[in-house]
């Protein structure tokens, strides 16, 4: 099974400026938690035991977030706020090992993953984008399904994919399936941000990948794109070209990938998660209803 995950969080997050000028986008809150906490909770619930964050400058708040804070613990204990202390822990948190390394220059996702080479060693590993949540409240089991498929089919790579509207393929990395697609299928090529008329499908890469260590050699062979970035999709293409088994798993019906990398999607995610909050959701729904009623009558 897959026990190790690499979580790249080193990007500049320019699409979320000025919010990300001095804080990582992965630490922006969605309802009551920072985005990256949902990611880690999902991974732990899917059997991951150790996580390597690929960080950069301005990202130390991520390390602090997953560290014990004795002063805060003491203050909460002394002021009898034990329920808040419990909120700081999540299931499996204390058993998870966290590692950190820096990507010195932000040269793209492929380059970020390469920073995990020593951590992965000879074992297959998961890559989970630090700015993408799977499922409402990160309740996805997709990574466990991917891991099962990776092992049973002796794959070199398994990618999570989601259906997107045909008109929007230009925003995503799109896979070319071999023949008809079921819940899982073989991928023969990938195209980065194709126009809808050129898109080989409407199935977009959804921020979770399992790789054999073979991927590192492929990444090293990839040439930088016109923005100077090493793209992991190009490395996966090389796996396809070499005839390696690259498979995809579709997110199950009703499961969404929440990509927090741009404002429209971040706003949508925040509202959806806040509405689903067990404590504050109902009240928020009423407030939202009023706000929408007022804006309609203007």
Site of interaction with ligand UTP (CB under 6 A) = 8-15, 26, 54, 103, 106-109, 111-112, 129-131, 261
As a whole number of angstroms, the distance between CA 26 and CA 34 comes to 7
Nearer to ligand UTP, 76 or 109 (CB): 109
Least CB distance to ligand UTP at residue 161 (A): 16
Nearer to ligand UTP, 18 or 243 (CB): 18
Least CB distance to ligand UTP at residue 258 (A): 13
Other Cβ atoms less than 10 A from the Cβ of 27: the count is 19
- CA proximity to 44, closest of 68, 66, 72: 66
As a whole number of angstroms, the distance between CA 56 and CA 58 comes to 6
3-state SS, residue 149: helix
Nearer to ligand UTP, 61 or 184 (CB): 61
Least CB distance to ligand UTP at residue 24 (A): 7
3-state SS, residue 219: helix
As a whole number of angstroms, the distance between CA 3 and CA 46 comes to 9
Residue 176 tokens, joined: 């070319």
Nearer to ligand UTP, 27 or 76 (CB): 27
Least CB distance to ligand UTP at residue 131 (A): 4
Sign of CA dihedral 54, 56, 61, 67: positive
Nearer to ligand UTP, 14 or 196 (CB): 14
Dihedrals φ, ψ of 279, to 5°?
-95, -50
Least CB distance to ligand UTP at residue 159 (A): 15
Q: Which residue in the shown chain puts its C-beta closest to ligand UTP?
A: 11
């Amino acid at each position: 099974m897959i026990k190790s995950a690499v979580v790249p969080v080193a990007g500049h997050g320019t699409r979320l400026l000025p919010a990300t000028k001095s804080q990582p986008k992965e630490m922006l809150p969605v309802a009551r938690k920072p985005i990256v906490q949902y990611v880690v909770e999902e991974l732990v619930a899917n059997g991951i035991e150790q996580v390597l964050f690929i960080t950069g400058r301005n990202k130390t708040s991520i390390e602090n977030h997953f560290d014990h804070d004795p002063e805060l613990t003491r203050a909460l204990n002394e002021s009898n706020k034990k329920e808040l202390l419990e909120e700081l822990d999540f299931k499996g948190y204390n058993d998870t090992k966290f590692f950190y390394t820096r990507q010195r220059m932000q040269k793209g996702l492929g380059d970020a993953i390469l920073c995990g080479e020593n951590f992965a060693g000879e074992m297959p590993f998961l890559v989970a984008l630090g700015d993408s949540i799977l499922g409402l409240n990160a309740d996805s089991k997709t990574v466990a399904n991917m891991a099962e498929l990776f092992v049973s089919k002796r794959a070199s790579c398994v990618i999570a994919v989601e259906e997107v509207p045909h008109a929007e393929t230009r925003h995503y990395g799109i896979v070319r399936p071999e023949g008809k697609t079921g819940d899982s299928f073989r991928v023969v090529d990938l195209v980065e941000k194709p126009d809808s008329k050129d898109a080989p499908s409407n199935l977009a890469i959804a921020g979770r990948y399992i790789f054999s260590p073979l991927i590192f050699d492929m990444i090293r062979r990839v040439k930088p794109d016109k923005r100077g970035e090493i793209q992991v999709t190009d490395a996966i293409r090389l796996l396809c070209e070499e005839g390696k088994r690259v498979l995809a798993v579709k997110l199950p019906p009703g499961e969404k990938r929440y990509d927090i990398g741009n404002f429209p999607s971040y706003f949508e995610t925040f509202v959806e998660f806040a509405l689903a909050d067990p404590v504050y959701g109902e009240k928020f729904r009423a407030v939202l209803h009023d706000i929408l009623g007022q804006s309609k009558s203007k």
